Structure 1
């Protein structure tokens, strides 16, 4: 959130824990809502295709980086 250069590693760790907890709380509230479930149910096939294409793109980039290195 807001840290200075004098902050200790414990403060950094506490901030990371708080940010992750906040993120997953917000995500679980969003996913559990009826509106989101209806939206996801309607566009699930396209969402899965898009996510699959993105993951395939990253996989190909990794493979090419090893082959061309």
Structure 2
């Protein structure tokens, strides 16, 4: 029976560990900043929606019907 070269097994386990290993990304390290970004984004969407709604209402009121 042939002997197994354990150095190859150890090297492949190390390579697998390096591939599987995950580091924390920036968003995981700074959750507060992400929350602030989300809040600012939602407020900006709300302001833009209010502006569009105001323009639509003004345009709807400015339509003059003539016969």
- Could you say which TM-score interval applies, normalised by the shorter chain? 0.3 to 0.5
TM-score, normalised with respect to structure 2? 0.43
Q: Which has the larger radius of gyration?
A: 2
